[in-house]
């Protein structure tokens, strides 16, 4: 298990309690305007299951996975569905989802591995599917409190997408951290639409 995955395994209970109540409704709403009613959403790196639960309550169909078994177990109990214990590198979904929700999870993927992981998520999407991603706002890779983060800004993200070639950028925006004690932290958010052909990503 890699360093950040270990962090969530060791600190699952605490992380669950710290993030379950965070109000992410405005971000979810912005994403859901692009998802067909009752559509299938993949919650990639679902953490506590907070967003998976909200999507289910809004009548969407959800598949969720997370790399940390202890967190996946807590999420499973919380929203009442199986959570697959998988890393981004292990997923093999093929054209199954109308949308991917990757909230604050791809930020633990090293920069050099992001193209491969984006292509895996692209393959999970149906043609024309949408994807939401968020990273801490900034640039480069940093290690902080036992986790590795790949930070992101508009320029780095455009270059990343250009190299991948199968997503079109719909929107990016910067938001504040929703947790009460994290006012000074900024997040980079992006909504993408898949435009390429699965064959191109083989
Ligand atoms: C900052 S948390 C975000 C959790 C949740 N999406 C949220 O918004 O609260 C990062 C999550 O990504 C998961 N994660 C880290 N590395 C991963 C990997 N390689 N594959 C899948 N999930 C991973 C962690 O276990 C953790 O649940």
Cα separation, 142 vs 24, whole angstroms: 25
- Domains along the chain with CATH numbers: 3-15+39-172 (3.40.50.150)
Cα separation, 170 vs 90, whole angstroms: 27
pLDDT at 21: 95
pLDDT at 182: 75
Contact 131, 194 (CB under 8 A): yes
pLDDT at 202: 44
Determine which residue's CA is closest to atom 16 belonging to ligand 1.
5
Quickly list H helices, 58-139: 69-79, 114-124
Burial classification of residue 32, based on how many CB atoms lie within 10 Å of its CB (0-12 exposed, 13-18 middle, 19 or more buried): buried
pLDDT at 1: 64
Exposure of 143 in the CB half-sphere (CA atoms within 13 A): 5
Cα separation, 149 vs 19, whole angstroms: 18
Contact 51, 83 (CB under 8 A): no
Determine which residue's CA is closest to atom 26 belonging to ligand 1.
47
For residue 46, the ligand 1 atom closest to its alpha carbon is 6
Structure tokens at 70: 């202890």
Please give the distance, rounded to the nearest whole angstrom, from the Cα atom of residue 168 to the centre of ligand 1: 24
Each residue's pLDDT expressed in tens, for the chain with a length of 202 residues: 676 678 999 999 999 999 999 999 999 999 999 999 999 999 999 999 999 999 999 999 999 999 999 999 999 999 999 999 999 999 999 999 999 999 999 999 999 999 999 999 999 999 999 999 999 999 999 998 889 999 999 999 999 999 999 999 999 999 998 877 777 889 999 999 999 765 544 4
Structure tokens at 7: 């962090």
Q: Is the CB of 150 under 6 A from ligand 1?
A: no
Neighbours of 79 (CB within 10 A): 21
């Amino acid at each position: 298990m890699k360093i950040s995955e270990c962090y969530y395994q060791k600190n699952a209970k605490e992380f669950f309690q710290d993030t379950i109540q965070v109000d992410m409704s405005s971000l979810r709403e912005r994403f859901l305007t692009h998802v067909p009613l009752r559509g299938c959403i993949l919650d990639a790196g679902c953490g506590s299951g907070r967003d998976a639960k909200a999507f289910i309550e809004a009548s969407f169909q959800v598949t969720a996975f997370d790399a940390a078994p202890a967190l996946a177990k807590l999420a499973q109990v919380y929203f009442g569905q199986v959570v697959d214990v998988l890393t981004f590198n292990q997923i093999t979904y093929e054209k199954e989802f109308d949308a991917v929700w990757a909230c604050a999870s791809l930020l633990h993927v090293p920069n050099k591995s992001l193209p491969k992981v984006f292509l895996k998520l692209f393959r999970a999407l149906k043609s024309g599917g949408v994807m939401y991603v968020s990273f801490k706002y900034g640039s480069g890779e940093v290690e902080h409190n036992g986790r590795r983060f790949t930070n992101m800004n508009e320029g780095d993200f455009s270059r990343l997408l250009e190299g991948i070639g199968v997503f079109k950028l719909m929107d990016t925006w910067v938001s504040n951290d929703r947790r009460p004690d994290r006012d000074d932290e900024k997040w980079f958010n992006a909504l993408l639409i898949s435009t390429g052909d699965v064959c191109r990503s083989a």
